[in-house]
Chain A
Amino acid sequence: MKFGLKKFVLILFFIGLLATPAAIRWWTARHNQNAALDPKTALARHGFYFQEVSHASGVNFVHQGPTLDHKLDPIMPEVASMGAAVSIVDFDRDGWPDIYVTNSGEGSKNALFHNNHDGTFTDVAEQMGVADMNRPGTGVSMGAVWGDYDNDGYEDLFLYKWGKPELFHNDHGHGFTRASDTAGLPPWINANTAVWFDYDGDGKLDLFIGGYYSEKIDLWHLQNTEIMPESFEYAKNGGRKYLLRNLGNGKFEDVTDQVGINSHRWALAAAAADLRGTGRPDLFIANDYGVSELYFNDGTRFHEVGEQTGVGFAPKSGMNAAFGDIFNHGQYAVYVSNISENGVLIQGNNLWVPKEGTSGNGLKYENLARDLGVELGGWSFGAQFGDLNNDGNLDLFLTNGYVSLDRNRDYWYDFSKIAGGHTSIISDARNWPAMEGRSLSGYQHKDVWINDGAGHFDNVAQSVGVTDTHDGRSVALVDLWNRGVLDAVVAHQRGPLLIYKNTVEPENKWIAFDLQGSSSNRSAIGAEVTLFWNGQKQVQEVSGGSGFCAQNDRRIHFGLGRDPKVDKAVIRWPSGKTQTLDNVSTDQLYKVQEPL
């Protein structure tokens, strides 16, 4: 091949090819400008901004991580990397949401921050009897979900742990009574997710618990170090699942096998919603080290349809499950967080959106995370949908960051080395190289993606004031001060609980609903509100737990944008009753009781 014009052109072409990734990177960065916070600009450009107000609110909570069996010392930061969780509850029914936060150090205390109605909170966990949950020998807290299991009108507490799970009865907001011993709970679990839902529609809340490590393991007294996943993406040696049916007398019956749930994958997040319009909540489980599972619920049995629907084929590191009607079409998308680390592992988060033309039992999903711009979020953990700027479209708040230790030394090389090894090597913690103070996807910036309503999400975290780099785990969205806006509460592993107070462009309107069941469960978990306005509709459901180790405000919040014309709100109760509210006004919280 002689050198000539053709060869010269070819060389130029080749150089152009090699320069293409840099050009794409430059182009993408140009279109993702994420400037520092300027409230006026943020309000004008994005319609909202956050201010971190935890100290000003009297909340000075710092999470402590567990210290497990010393055999795990070399990789302790990696193994003991969960337990920071936040859930929202109005435990005393004063109309102001309170915050429950878990701690995970042995002997550390959980906190229940009572809302003082004046912008501040007071930790009342000790006096209410729900603080001392991490006593040595009982394991440590991983998360909490609230639901009125006895339908007395007050939200009760289920605490899932690496250890003995606990159920606390809410004594009309004056304190909590431990109800674990008679409830029929499993004696020991290593769980990172639980969901209250009424799977059989009998008006009583049932409980799903998803095991992570095997329930046979006491992480403080290991027989051996073979506790790790047998595979990085195909592991089935995790904890078992529990579906506890509420018998109505403070007792629960384990019906897991009976209803067809038999999984030992490593569950990290679960959420329930009626995905097919059957009136029964289906169950989505995001698994670490494997594929997600989706269970269609026919009221008596659950049918695993992960592969059939498309969500259960490509294995990743699922760490979040949240539902959101992101297109205002009346159908839920599911957001599952995974791991993405430059140059090592690009799993990408999944945004499972119902395929056009599919519904009911033929429902199929496609992953549109990349197309919509919510794919890359580092080592992602908890995420929640909510209309942060009240513009009528659901936005997405994502936490991330795994282990932040030495900023200059990284564990990824060793992690990737062992992750690809044979099962006999990866499954034994003894074989894992020591972390020695190194970080693993640490100091990451959170993502706050706003939905432009036209099929794209823009990350505006920095420019709306979400700038911290703590290791985020759990996020809950809640209107903390009854202002008609969604604030964000974020729990961090070995880090502070942060409260991001939201300020929203006042021209943007909103409506919220506080539902209470009658023949349905009193918490109204599973009740679905479809709001019709400006020729569009958005559906939301009261949730008994979503995201990662989190529970949002039980009240449902809709942003409506400017000058909205609201047609009606249709409530479908778990009992099957449908209630239509006409003449609803904006900027109002509607308290609605299920008609008898």
Chain B
Amino acid sequence: MSQVTMPAVPAPPHAPSKRALIDSRYVAPIFITCILLVGQLTFGILESYPRTVLAIGTSILAELILGRVFLNKWPHPASAYISGISVGILLRSPAYWPYALCSLISITSKYVLRIKDRHIWNPSNFGVSAMLFLAPATVASLSIQWGNYLLPMVVIWVLGFVIVWRVRRLHITATYVLSFFAFAFLRSWILHEPWQAEVAPITGPMYQLFIFFMITDPKTTVRSKRGQCLVAFLIAVVETVLRFFQSVYAPFYALFIVGPIANAIEIWFDSRRKQTTTAVVAKTA
């Protein structure tokens, strides 16, 4: 599953805007903390506070150490905090070690799985997907723990709409939702199953997190608007294929597969464009 990452509001890279009340780097952590608290206080979605704290602590510590060793600087902990809290929300395990391990895998993946100095997997998407695949006897993903009611969805809708509308990424969410419904009805028709059963996953709160905050993660989506829509559509396509194979975590694995491929293609195109531009400039000169 992907990192629950709020699309960042454009802002100067290191200094808070003079008019902004808070540093824009803290917006995402604050929003995701709000979601966690609402979920926990209303439904007790967390396995436990200590496990979530362990995930966050491990994530930040790993980021600080790896950043210092490999980038020769102390990284800002906001990104690691988001990765850690995502692990804390998304992972379900009665044991403690999966939370620490998942955070470690998530953060380390950022430093290992890179093309042209850019990491291509959403860190916690990689970490949680890896844990679900490698440790199925010990971990599961958050699914039913947020109830089956409207209220938590409204909370996420409100937060989600505000964020994705503000950063002009509503088209990603809209594309995915429309694609999901189209494929849900297609599956229902092909499999002769109640359409409600195929639609059911997207009516649960966890999918709201997925469609608003996961697939819109700015660091692991392509840049062009059309490209973003295409990627959202392809995620739904791959998800449907996985669903035909009865994959319980189909959306998370779909994002795991499509996201980095899209990024790699974009990096390759960028590289080619750069080479062409350099060649043209050199020729012109």
| Chain A residues with a Cβ under 8 A of chain B | 1, 6-7, 10-11, 13-14, 17-18, 20-22, 24-25, 230-234, 313-315, 342-348, 369-370, 375-376, 410, 412-414, 416-423, 425-426, 428, 430-434
> B247's contact among A413, A425, A426, by CB below 8 Å, is which?
A413
Question: Would you give the shortest CB distance from B156 to chain A, in whole angstroms?
Answer: 13
- Beta-carbon contact of A425 and B197 below 8 Å: yes
| Chain B residues with a Cβ under 8 A of chain A | 43-44, 47, 66, 69-71, 92-95, 97-98, 101, 104-105, 108-109, 111-112, 114, 117, 130-132, 134-140, 143-145, 147-150, 193-194, 196-201, 203-204, 206-207, 246-248
In the docked arrangement, what's the CA distance between A86 and B198, Å? 39
- Beta-carbon contact of B101 and A233 below 8 Å: no
Neighbouring A residues of B139 by C-beta, 8 Å: 346
Neighbouring A residues of B105 by C-beta, 8 Å: 14, 17-18
Neighbouring B residues of A1 by C-beta, 8 Å: 70-71, 111, 114, 117
Number of A-B contacts (CB under 8 A): 149
In the docked arrangement, what's the CA distance between A426 and B204, Å? 10
In the docked arrangement, what's the CA distance between A232 and B203, Å? 14
Neighbouring A residues of B148 by C-beta, 8 Å: 230-232, 234, 420-423, 425-426
Neighbouring A residues of B199 by C-beta, 8 Å: 421, 425
- Beta-carbon contact of A21 and B134 below 8 Å: yes
In the docked arrangement, what's the CA distance between A382 and B261, Å? 48
- Beta-carbon contact of A421 and B203 below 8 Å: yes
- Beta-carbon contact of A419 and B196 below 8 Å: no
Neighbouring A residues of B150 by C-beta, 8 Å: 422
In the docked arrangement, what's the CA distance between A345 and B47, Å? 13
Closest chain B residue to A307, Cβ basis = B44
With A18-B105, A342-B137, A346-B93 in contact, do A314 and B44 touch (Cβ < 8 Å)? yes
Closest chain B residue to A9, Cβ basis = B69
Closest chain B residue to A420, Cβ basis = B204
In the docked arrangement, what's the CA distance between A421 and B146, Å? 11
- Beta-carbon contact of A433 and B193 below 8 Å: yes
In the docked arrangement, what's the CA distance between A38 and B201, Å? 48
- Beta-carbon contact of A421 and B112 below 8 Å: no
Question: Would you give the shortest CB distance from B141 to chain A, in whole angstroms?
Answer: 9
In the docked arrangement, what's the CA distance between A313 and B144, Å? 15
> B194's contact among A13, A22, A430, by CB below 8 Å, is which?
A430
> A432's contact among B149, B194, B246, by CB below 8 Å, is which?
B194
- Beta-carbon contact of B200 and A313 below 8 Å: no
In the docked arrangement, what's the CA distance between A370 and B150, Å? 34
Neighbouring A residues of B112 by C-beta, 8 Å: 10-11, 14
In the docked arrangement, what's the CA distance between A205 and B204, Å? 45
- Beta-carbon contact of B136 and A343 below 8 Å: yes
Question: Would you give the shortest CB distance from A227 to chain B, in whole angstroms?
Answer: 15
In the docked arrangement, what's the CA distance between A417 and B203, Å? 10
Question: Would you give the shortest CB distance from B38 to chain A, in whole angstroms?
Answer: 15
With A232-B148, A421-B196 in contact, do A416 and B94 touch (Cβ < 8 Å)? no
> B109's contact among A14, A315, A342, A370, by CB below 8 Å, is which?
A14
> B206's contact among A20, A420, A428, by CB below 8 Å, is which?
A420
In the docked arrangement, what's the CA distance between A425 and B137, Å? 29
- Beta-carbon contact of A18 and B134 below 8 Å: yes
Q: Which of B111, B144, B145, B198 is most buried by chain A, counting CB atoms within 10 A of its CB?
A: B144
Question: Would you give the shortest CB distance from A530 to chain B, in whole angstroms?
Answer: 32
> A234's contact among B43, B130, B197, by CB below 8 Å, is which?
B43
Question: Would you give the shortest CB distance from B276 to chain A, in whole angstroms?
Answer: 26
In the docked arrangement, what's the CA distance between A425 and B200, Å? 7
- Beta-carbon contact of A232 and B248 below 8 Å: no
Neighbouring B residues of A432 by C-beta, 8 Å: 194, 197
With A14-B109, A421-B200 in contact, do A343 and B248 touch (Cβ < 8 Å)? yes
- Beta-carbon contact of B144 and A348 below 8 Å: no
- Beta-carbon contact of B109 and A431 below 8 Å: no
In the docked arrangement, what's the CA distance between A10 and B207, Å? 34
- Beta-carbon contact of A233 and B197 below 8 Å: no
Question: Would you give the shortest CB distance from B63 to chain A, in whole angstroms?
Answer: 13
In the docked arrangement, what's the CA distance between A432 and B197, Å? 6
- Beta-carbon contact of A345 and B108 below 8 Å: no
- Beta-carbon contact of B193 and A434 below 8 Å: yes
In the docked arrangement, what's the CA distance between A232 and B206, Å? 14
- Beta-carbon contact of A6 and B70 below 8 Å: yes
